[in-house]
Amino acid sequence: MASSGTNTFNLSVDELILEAYERCGVVTPTGYQLRSARRSLNLLLQDLGNRDVHLFKRAQTTFNTVESDETYVLDAAILDVMDMHILSGGTTGSEISMARYTQSEYAGLPNKSTESRPSHYYLDRERDAATLYLYPAPDAVYTINYFAYNRIQDVGEYTNTLDVPAKFLPAVTTGLAFLLSEKLPALDVPRVSLFKQRYDEEVLRAIEEDEERVSLYLTPNLAGSSFAVRSG
């Protein structure tokens, strides 16, 4: 038996909306229902982004500091940063890990304008754009590398595909069906609850699949008969 030989399946926004409506028993949604579904889909993507830090939205980013400037406004799409490193020799040399301050730790620093090679950072995740504060303030130009975690892009046109991997499509489709079912008075409460339950389960599976894989090593526990497990 022949197979397709392809593995590029995806759904456009309008196809995903129709699939969600069909699960709710609506075969031909009206123009208003389509617009309402697109609005709900944008809200669903925001909910998905709030549930976990997704590896598929991680991007390595590099920038150069400005001498004596400890404040940097980041791109509005950036939700968080992790694994920040600074080059030991300014714009060359080995990478040195930087530690992250909490808001209270940064606020308690006595002299934030002290200049040296930055060793710490604080990220103020403001509403419009996150602001990065370095400490000490750079005494020269340094190259800093970090991983940025970005927002999931808006839905946009009906012909677009979503800014999520294919592994998240089942969760997004079921989640949209749940949101739409809340707007359809003909659907009973048990069916709405079932959509919600299935959405939570499928999101959890997708997030677990999206996690990083690490090697596991078994080492004998000489004090007993069991094995110790470590990752690396």
Q: What is the pLDDT of residues 86-121, one digit of tens each?
A: 999 999 999 999 999 999 999 999 999 999 999 999
Task: Say if residue 199's pLDDT is above 90.
Answer: yes
Task: Say if residue 223's pLDDT is above 70.
Answer: no
Task: Say if residue 212's pLDDT is above 90.
Answer: no
The per-residue pLDDT of the chain, averaged, comes to 90
Angstrom distances, CA of residue 158 to CA of 15, 41, 53, 214? 8, 11, 26, 38
78 and 136 in a single domain? The answer is yes
92 and 141 in a single domain? The answer is yes
Q: What's the pLDDT score for residue 216? A: 55
User: Strand order of the sheet with strand 58-64?
Assistant: 58-64, 143-150, 78-87, 95-97
Per DSSP, which regions of the chain are E strands? 58-64, 71-73, 78-87, 95-97, 99-100, 115-116, 120-124, 131-135, 137-138, 143-150, 216-220, 227-231
- pTM comes to 0.81
146 and 165 in a single domain? The answer is no
124 and 185 in a single domain? The answer is no
Distance CA 149, CA 172 (A): 20
Angstrom distances, CA of residue 5 to CA of 9, 11, 107, 169? 11, 18, 58, 21
Q: What's the pLDDT score for residue 89? A: 93
Is residue 7 a part of any domain in this protein? no
The alpha carbon of 91 is separated from its chain's Cα centroid by a whole number of angstroms, namely 29
170 and 123 in a single domain? The answer is no
Total domains, the chain: 2
Is residue 61 a part of any domain in this protein? yes
Q: What's the pLDDT score for residue 21? A: 97
Is residue 231 a part of any domain in this protein? no
Residue of 148, 88, 87, 84 whose CA lies nearest to 120: 84
Is residue 218 a part of any domain in this protein? no
Q: What's the pLDDT score for residue 55? A: 82
Q: What's the pLDDT score for residue 208? A: 86
158 and 140 in a single domain? The answer is no
pLDDT grade, residue 217 (50/70/90)?
A: low
Q: What's the pLDDT score for residue 128? A: 85
69 and 142 in a single domain? The answer is yes
Is residue 81 a part of any domain in this protein? yes
Among 150, 169, 184, the domain-final residue is 150
Is residue 36 a part of any domain in this protein? yes
DSSP letters of 105-151?
A: HHHT-S-TT-EES--EEEEE--SSS-EEEEESEESS--EEEEEEEEP
Among 129, 150, 171, the domain-final residue is 150
15-45 pLDDT per residue, tens: 999 999 999 999 999 999 999 999 999 999 9
Inter-residue contact 140 to 90 (CB < 8 Å): yes
48 and 160 in a single domain? The answer is yes
Is residue 41 a part of any domain in this protein? yes
Would you call 34 helix, strand, or coil by DSSP? Answer: helix
Among 119, 134, 150, the domain-final residue is 150
- Domain range enclosing 78: 55-150
67 and 127 in a single domain? The answer is yes
71 and 48 in a single domain? The answer is no
128 and 180 in a single domain? The answer is no
Is residue 229 a part of any domain in this protein? no
89 and 21 in a single domain? The answer is no
